Amino acid sequence: MTMALLEVENLQVHFRTPGGVNRAVNGVSFHVEEGETLAIVGESGCGKSVTSMSMLRLIPEPPGKIAGAVRFAGRDLLKLSDKEMRAIRGNEISMIFQEPMTSLNPVLTVGRQIGETLRLHQGLDATAAEAKAVEMLSLVGIPAPERRVKEYPHQLSGGMRQRVMIAIALACNPRLLIADEPTTALDVTIQAQILDLMRDLKSRVGAAIVLITHDLGVVAEVAERVMVMYAGRKVEEAPVRELFANPRHPYTRGLLGAVPKLGSSLQGETSRLAEIPGQVPSLTKPIQGCVFAGRCAIATDVCRTWAPALEWKAPRHAAACHYAPKEAAAA
């Protein structure tokens, strides 16, 4: 069996807080193949962004503590020195952050910020870096790139700033791109353009993508495989089509039920959107049994007593639920 590009094994990220140890990510494992797009989904606070930041060791220690293994191209990133990690960040693995206005430096031109990555990792001089910055802005669909490289972030629209972030992330031809909610702050039209851009760039540059999102519509558009997180744990994983057609965990079914259906009001359907009752359990206290039991409609005493193991319920389809249907072939 060939080695995956990224292998995350039993990742644990804990934070010391005045209220106790917050187990933000608790024993999560997954892999990403070369050129594949994996989406990590779940509601706010489930540990998606902490998972992505810990892969690049961007979690400050203390108060954070990262354990487990994050193997990229066979090297465990958690065991590398700070200098070795700096050589990988922005070069072999790049990240698009959630809010471009706070991620871009307001006092540096757009061209300087793209060029900085190229000068640091590829040793280009100022002239070559600016020429490459123009090329990158053109690649991500920004008009008049020769003029835009000399502008500052505040002179660009939200959609353009997000394109600049993507240009910076792709400048060094990374093998893995981590996109943390890349369309959250954008209106629907611009969201669609950014998703089209990411699909187009993926086919052009061949990078693998880990897409962090809470929007299942985005997942359907771009990803090939989905991992669902809840309360810091992985509760389901499957290929996109299989997950949408046959969700096996009650939490995933709840997420899919809460997605608005286009045209439902035109067809006379006035039913309310389904909601998931209750609240996410506190991550600073030990959770007995299934993490979702307190909000689950089908939970029994078994669920409240024993935590279900993450098991294969069908080919390439795993779920952590005592009552998730299991195909005979996966038994």
Portion of the chain with pLDDT greater than 90, in percent: 40
Where would I find the H helices in 89-215? 100-103, 110-122, 126-139, 145-148, 158-170, 188-205
CA distances from 40 to 91, 179, 211, 238, 291 (A): 22, 10, 6, 11, 18
What long-range pairs does 315-319 form, CB within 8 A, spacing at least 24?
316/238, 316/239, 316/242, 317/236, 317/237, 317/238, 317/239, 317/242, 317/243, 317/246, 317/248, 318/236, 318/237, 318/238, 319/235, 319/236, 319/237, 319/248, 319/249, 319/252
Higher pLDDT, 103 or 95: 95
Say whether pLDDT at 330 is over 70: no
Mean pLDDT of 265-284: 72
Mean pLDDT of 12-40: 91
Mean pLDDT of 94-121: 84
Give the single-character DSSP code of 266.
T
Pairing of strands 37-41, 208-213: parallel
Mean pLDDT of 79-85: 92
Tokens of 280: 């996410």
Mean pLDDT of 302-314: 92
**Residue in this structure with the two tokens 């061209």, named with its chain if needed:** 111
Mean pLDDT of 309-324: 92
Nearest residue to 166 via CA among 144, 199, 128: 199
Give the single-character DSSP code of 85.
H
Mean pLDDT of 276-285: 85
> What's residue 171's pLDDT?
81
Give the single-character DSSP code of 181.
S
Higher pLDDT, 241 or 272: 241
Higher pLDDT, 331 or 113: 113
Say whether pLDDT at 269 is over 70: no
> What's residue 292's pLDDT?
93
Say whether pLDDT at 264 is over 60: no
Cβ(96)–Cβ(169) below 8 Å = yes
Instruction: Look at residue 105 and give its three-state secondary structure.
Output: coil
Cβ(213)–Cβ(43) below 8 Å = no
- pLDDT tens per residue across span 179-208: 888 777 667 777 777 787 777 777 777 889
Distance CA(325)–CA(331), nearest Å, equals: 11
Nearest residue to 322 via CA among 254, 252, 255, 250: 250
User: What is the CB neighbour count within 10 angstroms for residue 172?
Assistant: 18
Strand (E) positions, the chain? 6-17, 20-32, 37-41, 64-72, 75-76, 93-96, 176-180, 208-213, 225-230, 233-239, 311-314, 317-319
What number of residues does the chain have?
331
83-87, 100-104, 166-170, 260-264: the lowest-pLDDT one: 260-264
Nearest residue to 48 via CA among 102, 4, 8: 8
> What's residue 198's pLDDT?
78
- pLDDT tens per residue across span 227-244: 999 999 999 999 999 999
Q: In what order do the strands lie in the sheet with 233-239?
A: 93-96, 176-180, 208-213, 37-41, 225-230, 233-239, 317-319, 311-314
Burial 183-201 (b: 16+ CB within 10 A, else e): bebbeeebbebbbebbeeb
- pLDDT tens per residue across span 39-70: 999 888 888 989 999 999 999 888 899 999 99
